[in-house]
């Protein structure tokens, strides 16, 4: 059996007190599309930072593609929730995508091969005809697709997406979903989202993050969804999930 693409073992993390993440253990096998969901403040963004090597756990270990997150970063593509940029700065869609190959930059210039890879990445998100358009002139949905192309330009083995549909109109969300469905056929994907339609369309399984983590199969029941997002039921959801996984520290029985 091949090694998992992502392996987190007993990860704890905090900025101060209390713990943001506590005893987090999970794996992502090659080719899986894992949807990460959970309430605001539950630790989803922190977990993503740890996987990217931007934060280090206080305890536990994380490996990506058999390496530390820092060493594996060049083999990961990352699509942030939003990108801050100066709309007056003269940068094209192709320039943005080429940023995904900055680690291949030599003598201040991108090679012909880098340009070919970047153009193919734009083609994968159906924006080949927008390559030379100013980034500021693109619609919100087109900008998001350019950001996906930038992540693809590094030729990743793992694609990480943070709320990819959060800043686009519903009218173009379906087109983005079609693109992501094609991508999942060829790479491992970890997707942080609140969009349950996105979960059902792209997810093979679900990781619920609420300081601890619990794995769920799809489809999620309405009761499970209410437990995950309802403040009054989260404690019971955590207790039941830990019980099912053999952790009885929160149970009331002996």
Residue 73 lies in a domain: no
Residue 182 lies in a domain: yes
Residue 175 lies in a domain: yes
Residue 46 lies in a domain: no
Residue 210 lies in a domain: yes
Could you give the 3-state DSSP secondary structure of residue 214? Answer: strand
* Structural domain boundaries, residue 96: 12-41+84-243
Mean pLDDT for all residues in the chain? 86
Per-state percent for the chain, helix, strand, coil, to nearest 5:
40, 25, 40
Please state the pTM of the whole predicted model.
Answer: 0.83
In the prediction, which pLDDT does 234 show?
Answer: 44
Exposed / middle / buried, residue 27 (Cβ in 10 Å: 0-12, 13-18, 19+):
middle
Residue 53 lies in a domain: no
Higher pLDDT, 240 or 143: 143
Section 91-106 average pLDDT:
92
The number of distinct structural domains making up the chain is 1
Residue 77 lies in a domain: no
Residue 140 lies in a domain: yes
Section 110-124 average pLDDT:
96
**CATH number of the structural domain spanning residue 185:** 3.40.50.300
Q: Which residues contact residue 130 at a Cβ distance below 8 angstroms, ignoring those fewer than 6 apart?
A: 93, 122, 138, 142, 146
The number of beta carbons lying within 10 Å of the beta carbon of residue 247 is: 14
Residue 129 DSSP symbol? G
In the prediction, which pLDDT does 245 show?
Answer: 52
Give per-residue pLDDT as tens, 152-199: 999 999 999 998 887 677 667 788 888 888 888 889 999 998 888 788
């Amino acid at each position: 059996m091949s090694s998992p693409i992502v392996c987190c073992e007993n990860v704890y993390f905090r900025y101060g007190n209390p713990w943001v993440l506590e005893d987090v253990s999970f794996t992502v096998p090659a080719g899986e599309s894992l949807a990460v969901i959970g309430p605001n403040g539950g630790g989803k963004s922190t977990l993503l930072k740890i996987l990217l090597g931007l934060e280090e756990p206080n305890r536990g270990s994380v490996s990506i593609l058999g390496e530390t997150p820092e060493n594996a970063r060049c083999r990961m593509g990352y699509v942030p929730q939003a990108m801050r940029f100066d709309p007056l700065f003269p940068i094209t869609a192709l320039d943005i995508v080429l940023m995904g190959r900055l680690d291949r930059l030599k003598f201040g210039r991108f090679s012909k091969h880098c340009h070919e890879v970047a153009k193919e990445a734009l083609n994968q998100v159906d924006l080949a005809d927008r390559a030379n358009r100013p980034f500021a002139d693109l619609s919100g949905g087109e900008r998001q697709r350019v950001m996906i192309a930038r992540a693809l330009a590094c030729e990743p083995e793992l694609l990480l997406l943070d709320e990819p549909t959060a800043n686009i109109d519903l009218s173009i969300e379906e087109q983005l979903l079609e693109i992501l469905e094609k991508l999942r056929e060829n790479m491992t994907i970890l997707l942080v989202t609140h969009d349950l339609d996105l979960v059902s369309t792209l997810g093979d399984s679900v990781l619920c993050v609420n300081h601890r983590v619990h794995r769920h199969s799809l489809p999620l029941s309405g009761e499970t969804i209410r437990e995950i997002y309802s403040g009054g039921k989260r404690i019971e959801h955590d207790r039941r999930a830990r019980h099912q996984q053999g952790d009885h520290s929160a149970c009331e029985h002996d």
